[in-house]
Structure 1
Amino acid sequence: MTYTSMWFAFGFVLIALLLSLWQKLGLEKEIAIGTIRSTIQLLLIGYVLNFVFHSDNVFFIVILIIMMISVASWNAASRGKNLPGIFWRIAFSLAITELVTMGLMVILGLVTPTPQYLIPMSGMIIGSSMIVSSLFLTHMNREVDTAKGEIETLLSLGASTRQAVQGVLKRAVKASMIPTFDTMKTIGLVQLPGMMTGMIVAGASPIEAVRYQILIMLSFSSSAAISAVLISLLSYRLWFTKDSILRL
């Protein structure tokens, strides 16, 4: 794909802008900012990855993964702005998820420990875990607000914060994991995932592309479970004060 073709692709954004104007949706600013940011970010990361792939230096790989975890944690933490210290808890959860998932892949010989494999796969795992963390915080806030009376009653009867919030916690964890497994049920029938599509477009055998996509999707199941359980265990106390009073 040439740069000229890429510029023509901005015509798709023009369609979105015209439809927003026609229907008076007021999304023109968001569409423009999203388009500009995504284009600049992708171009920059393209040059960065080109440099890292050619340098083949472990230090640069680690720096990129830390950057991914930091940005993902910041984005997910925006769902829980009223929770002190939530950013670090999410970052720790994502780091452990990445370490366990990618560590197993390398130890079992499923992927070659080179930048071309480690960085893209880490990005997909961290991105998936970020969505799980965001969903957990969203559902947890909603569930706590809905079950506020129930939680306060349990606390007044002498229950610990963990006991009072246990039911809410389970529902939030379950809700945060469901989209991952729903996607796994329809993959290949409703959609062809990005990694598989990219490999096919690049000229790889569809069978080889499918094998890598299966590896990624199966790893998503463990990463979703690990990140959801970890963030729930690390963060549930944040919905309470030091005196075990439910935060408003």
Structure 2
Amino acid sequence: MDTMGLSGSSFWIDFLQGMLKPAVATAVVAMAVALSFIQRLGLEGEMVYSVARAFLQLSVIGFVLEFIFSQKNAGWIVLAYLFMVLVAGYTAGQRAKHVPRGKYIAGASILVGTSLTMLLLIVLNVFPFTPRYIIPIAGMMVGNSMTVTGVTMKKLREDLKIQKNLVETALALGATPRQATLQQVKRSLIIALSPVLDNAKTVGLISLPGAMTGLIMGGASPLEAIQLQIVVMNMLIGASTVSSITSTYLCWPTFFTKAYQLEYQVLNGD
């Protein structure tokens, strides 16, 4: 009993000591909050909430991952993946909250893009189907797809609202809703995917990729680390592209009535 008590005390001492540096690092967040207040951005509350939430989530997920990595049941992989997709769909839908059924559309788009990409990588034997590989990979793909999907849906609605006269003219000339919105769809996709492509162009020149750097620091050969990072960049581009395109196909019908007229109630919502 005494041994268990000492072990528990040692755990919490190590935990608190380990959290000292992250706690001190919140000084940079305080700077961001101060700048937001000075510039009257109104983001102070969201900044504090985001940091507090990230702190709590990372503290918990570390132990959850340790448990999942020790399991050999594929069900835990699928469960963890679906949970990530669920949270990502909700978050992306919040960013595009004026799109009807936005959370469901975002979730379905992220699921399609990431699952197809991951399935292809597994079939080609690029990665083994084990928790230590699949869960981090799925997390990176879902995170990128979440950002891209949210931006795509939000930008598409904004462009349709601004350029509704052009869309209505095309519809009056006999174009289908998809044909009438082709330019707006292309623009939303280009804007959403540009950061992903720019990151791929500058990786290693501006930002040092975490996967490659971590492997080298862990003692892996540079060649192995480079190979892994190239695979990671490729899968991020593939998953993000499929997810964003899927979201346009799923969300653009919500901007039109059954009579193929613009749904002003959706476009004019605040």
Q: Give the TM-score, by structure 1 length.
A: 0.91
**Which of 207, 224, 234 is equivalent to 1:208?**
224
Q: 1:41 to 1:237 in 2, by over 3 A?
A: same
Work out whether residues 117 and 238 of structure 2, in 8 Å CA contact, stay in contact via their aligned partners in 1. Answer: yes
Give the count of matched residue pairs. 248
Work out whether residues 92 and 106 of structure 2, in 8 Å CA contact, stay in contact via their aligned partners in 1. Answer: yes
Q: Does 1:96 align with 2:112?
A: yes
Provide the rounded CA distance (Å) in 1 between the counterparts of 2:128 and 2:71: 16
Task: Please tell me the residue identity of whatever aligns with 1:83.
Answer: V
Task: Please tell me the residue identity of whatever aligns with 2:20.
Answer: W
C-alpha displacement at 1:196, in angstroms?
2.3
Give runs of aligned pairs for residues 50-69 of structure 1, distance below 5 A.
50-69=66-85
**Which of 177, 180, 189 is equivalent to 2:205?**
189
Give runs of aligned pairs for residues 39-78 of structure 1, distance below 5 A.
39-78=55-94
C-alpha displacement at 1:111, in angstroms?
0.8
Give runs of aligned pairs for residues 25-174 of structure 1, distance below 5 A.
25=38, 27-174=43-190
C-alpha displacement at 1:70, in angstroms?
0.6
Task: Please tell me the residue identity of whatever aligns with 1:36.
Answer: A
Residues 212-242 of structure 1 deviation map (CA, whole Å, 9 limit, x = unaligned): 1111001122112211221111221111123
Provide the rounded CA distance (Å) in 1 between the counterparts of 2:231 and 2:251: 30
Unpaired segments ≥5 residues, structure 1: none
Give RMSD over aligned pairs.
Answer: 2.1
Q: Secondary structure at the match of 1:246?
A: coil
Provide the rounded CA distance (Å) in 1 between the counterparts of 2:178 and 2:126: 38
**Which of 153, 166, 191 is equivalent to 1:175?**
191
Q: Secondary structure at the match of 2:70?
A: helix
Task: Please tell me the residue identity of whatever aligns with 2:100.
Answer: P
C-alpha displacement at 1:150, in angstroms?
0.3
Unpaired segments ≥5 residues, structure 2: 1-13, 265-270
Q: Secondary structure at the match of 2:207?
A: coil
Q: More deviation in 203-212 or 20-29?
A: 20-29
Provide the rounded CA distance (Å) in 2 between the counterparts of 1:91 and 1:18: 34
